[in-house]
């Protein structure tokens, strides 16, 4: 699996595909540390940045399945307090977050 040296490491975007962090299409996704240790795109513990698609791609490449993912979402996708309850429940059913 590709790991980037300090000289190669991109700044502020997904290392694998270049999607900029915080761009409209960015979905914040967090995986458990023991999974990140395997798919980590750097040589440093807990370092690096990958978009959710590239996280999934690396997990598939590593043969890891059923990874618990915490989706923090983006402003556009995340419901807020005061939003209609039924929509919140639908969102929760889509986003397993028991890391």
Binding-site ranges for Zn ion (CB under 5 A):
14, 16-17, 19, 51, 54
Beta strands in 1-99 (DSSP E): 29-30, 70-71
CB of 50 to Zn ion, least distance (A): 6
Closest CA to 77 of 90, 63, 65, 91: 91
Of 61 and 83, the one with the shorter C-beta distance to Zn ion is: 61
Of 60 and 90, the one with the shorter C-beta distance to Zn ion is: 60
CB of 8 to Zn ion, least distance (A): 15
User: For residue 45, what are the β-bridge partners?
Assistant: none
**Residue 49 contacts residue 9 (beta carbons within 8 Å):** no
The one-character DSSP state at 42 is B
Of 57 and 78, the one with the shorter C-beta distance to Zn ion is: 57
CB of 81 to Zn ion, least distance (A): 31
């Amino acid at each position: 699996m590709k790991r980037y040296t300090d000289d190669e490491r991109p700044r502020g975007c997904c290392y694998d595909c270049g999607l900029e962090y915080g761009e409209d299409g960015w979905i914040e996704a967090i995986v458990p540390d023991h999974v990140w240790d395997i798919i980590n795109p750097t040589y440093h513990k807990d370092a690096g940045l990958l978009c959710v698609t590239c996280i999934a791609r690396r997990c598939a490449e590593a043969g890891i399945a059923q990874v618990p993912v915490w989706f923090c979402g983006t402003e556009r996708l995340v419901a807020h307090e005061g939003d209609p309850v039924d929509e919140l429940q639908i969102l929760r059913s889509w986003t397993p977050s028991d890391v």
